[in-house]
Chains A and B, each alone.
Chain A
Amino acid sequence: MTLIMVVDDDQDLAEMLGIVLTGSGFEVDLVNSGDQVMNIFDNHQPDLVLLDVMLPGLSGIEVCTLIREKSMVPIVMLTAKGDSYDVVKGLEAGADDYMVKPFNPSELVARIKVRLRRSGTESSTTLRICDITIDQVAHTIIRNGKTIPLTRLEFDLLVALAKEPGRVFTRDALLSEVWGYQQAADTRLVNVHVQRLRAKIEEDVDNPQVVLTVRGVGYKAGASQT
């Protein structure tokens, strides 16, 4: 059973989320305050965290940072302000995706399912991008014999680029491929996560070799070395 941790100070909304998610076949942990999150997180090890940005005690962004320090679990933020800089703050703190209230429950379930999808299982090939080896079975990436921990989203992002080495991906294409958005969505998602990915895998973040920016278009994989 997949366990989803719902963190929201609004008990009614949390309960409603619980009803909807349980109805979709998930197991749900409800947490009402930011301060309790880490405690429950350590004990229950959820598969995904649904996190409200505005929380009493620790804010959603602080919680996000704390979770990211010890786990690569997918995090989806819930925000009431779609256009504020809270979104970027949350993404920079490690959230994989965000939903703007009031959201459509089926849309929420769809987003959660995309985040839980185990990519790479459909293929057993090992991909190479620059001097990085991507093992799609073990779900790890290795450089110089050392494993680099990535979130599932970052892994998906890198695999998407590595699978088609010559192709330049527009931000919209990546949003559809990695995030599962069918309609135009917030391209900041791509920008922020490419930055986060680069911080982990590039030797020189200011001069990226693995994930290359194609000005005015999008991103592509760097040339692979054998």
Chain B
Amino acid sequence: MRWLGVKWRSSILFRVISTTFILSLILISLVGSILFIQISNGIFREKTNESVSEAQSLYDYAQGQLDATLYLQSLKLSVVVKRILQASDLTVATTPREVVLIGSPVLHAANGAFNGASGNVEIKSIPQTLRVAVRKTGLAQWIRGDITFTDGSRKSAIIVGHAVEIPPQSPYELYYVFLLTEQQTIVDFIGRLLLFAGFLLIFMIGGISWYVIRQAINPVRDAAEIAEQLTAGDLNRRMHVTGQDEMARLAISFNEMAVSMQQQISRLENLSRLQQRFVSDVSHELRTPLTTIRMASEVIAENKGKMDPAAARSAELLQSQIARFETLLTDLLEVSRFDASASILELKETDIKSLVIQTIDQLHIGNMGQIRTDFSEGSVIAMVDPRRIERVLRNLISNAIDHSEGSTIDITIRQTEREVAVGVRDYGIGFTERESERLFDRFWRADPSRSRLRGGTGLGLSIALDDAKLHQGALKAWGAPGKGANFVLTVPIAPGIPIQGEPIPVDPNDVPSTSFLNFDEDDI
């Protein structure tokens, strides 16, 4: 049943065919029934007329014979009755028939000495209604009904009844039973014929509508199939155009749509390619002079000892600012790559735990006692791009240090079957709800004097968010002024597994009434 429901909703063809089928079934059975009733009635009516007139003449003859016994001594009553009861007396009529003679009930006396029937007809099977009518009117009465035989079989028949008088003055009823066997056979045959024709018609109508609907639906199906292929990226697929009908118009406009789509896409692809080319060119053009400057500054720095203090300090500043410029350039190029969708994940099976430990080591944190870790047992393996995840972690941890005011920093790792999460929580200055809205904006700084302590470029969180999204993960932030901040990176354990839960809630329960940020795919 469910299959039918699904099919009904999913296939026009199925819907139309089954509707046609049911409707034509109803219509054809209606017409067939009417036709059948009309034909069988006609056949039976003719037989009835024939039977009634034949019974009349038989009755006339029988009554005549009975009456004659009064005057002709040679004609014995018993013989006459016997002859009347002879069913197949074909001298008068040619139709096969049976005869039943029953005595009508009379007052104070038994009446039935001459009761009898031909051909094993059960006398009692003459319907009472007919008998009453015959006795009441005294005229010929007929009925169509079933006759029972002594062997128990029943047959449909026309029964014509007359009142007769057997001398002297015994009221009897004489019934002629005309079996309808032949008519029934014809009617049955016609019925079977109609049934067969009906079914044939239904199936033919079904077949024709299937054929016709298919003609109309096939182009639609083709269009759907080709649309699917277009969606899958095969932009060169087109519909086949034949003729000039509505379907051809559909195909033509469909193809026009596909062409315009393809043009749009290739235009965008070109733009993206140009953007990537630009990024790569800028990269080259900027990096070469930067290399020269850097080498020059190193050479100058090496000779610091020979310089006066002002020149020596200048050499130092030059060196550190070049380093900062380099970081900035790298970050800018990374951002451009994200914008051009040119970033590619280089996935590797990575132990997130050792990545976190390695990141902490590489940050050369002055006060290691500040860091408190809460890692789950064993290694935490995920398919990620270690370079990017390390960059995110480095960013979150160095941000936490910059804003912790010397407070403890909690680094937590949790994993579920689907995702791995790393939480970095500090209890420092935190941020307000208004600030939180701009947290991930490029070049935005909550407190410009602070971030520069560690040479941040102002692009760190923006890149971290892009990195998280590239992994189809999430980077969420929570903060409250004076109570610190919490950043949680959640990435799927392997690509293609969408993250569902939050192994680490971004909103720590210890601080009620908070600003809560949720950066998902759709934000920004």
Contact indicator B299/A81 (Cβ below 8 Å):
no
A19 contacts chain B at the CB level, 8 A cutoff: yes
Contact indicator A105/B299 (Cβ below 8 Å):
yes
A160 contacts chain B at the CB level, 8 A cutoff: no
Q: How far is the CB of B340 from chain A (nearest CB, A)?
A: 14
Contact indicator B287/A105 (Cβ below 8 Å):
no
Q: How far is the CB of B33 from chain A (nearest CB, A)?
A: 79
The contact string, 1 if C-beta is below 8 Å from chain B, for chain A 80-109, is 110010000000000000000111111000
B residues adjacent to A (C-beta < 8 A) = 280, 283-284, 287-296, 298-299, 326
| Among B280, B291, B299, contact of A102 (Cβ-Cβ < 8 Å) | B291
From DSSP, what is the main secondary structure of chain B's interface residues?
A: helix
Contact A54 to B299, CB < 8 A, known contacts A13-B291, A102-B290: no
| Chain A-chain B contacts (Cβ-Cβ < 8 Å), number | 50
Contact indicator A105/B294 (Cβ below 8 Å):
yes
Tell me the complex Cα distance, A84–B283, Å.
12
Cβ contacts under 8 Å, B289 to chain A: 10, 12-13
Q: How far is the CB of A48 from chain B (nearest CB, A)?
A: 18
Residue of A nearest to B288 (CB): A10
Contact indicator A16/B295 (Cβ below 8 Å):
yes
Contact indicator A101/B298 (Cβ below 8 Å):
no
Contact A105 to B295, CB < 8 A, known contacts A80-B283, A81-B280, A81-B283: yes
Tell me the complex Cα distance, A16–B293, Å.
9
A17 contacts chain B at the CB level, 8 A cutoff: yes
Contact A103 to B299, CB < 8 A, known contacts A54-B284, A80-B283, A80-B284: no
Q: Closest 7 A-B residue pairs measured CB to CB?
A: A80-B284, A102-B291, A101-B287, A80-B287, A101-B291, A102-B290, A13-B292
Q: A19-B299, A54-B284, A104-B298 are in contact. List 10 more A-B contacts (CB 8 A).
A: A13-B288, A13-B291, A16-B299, A17-B295, A81-B283, A101-B287, A101-B288, A102-B290, A102-B326, A106-B298
A23 contacts chain B at the CB level, 8 A cutoff: yes
Q: How far is the CB of B287 from chain A (nearest CB, A)?
A: 4
A72 contacts chain B at the CB level, 8 A cutoff: no
Q: How far is the CB of B88 from chain A (nearest CB, A)?
A: 104
Tell me the complex Cα distance, A106–B299, Å.
10
Cβ contacts under 8 Å, A127 to chain B: none
- Chain A stretch 1-43: residues in CB contact (< 8 A) with chain B: 10, 12-13, 16-17, 19-20, 23
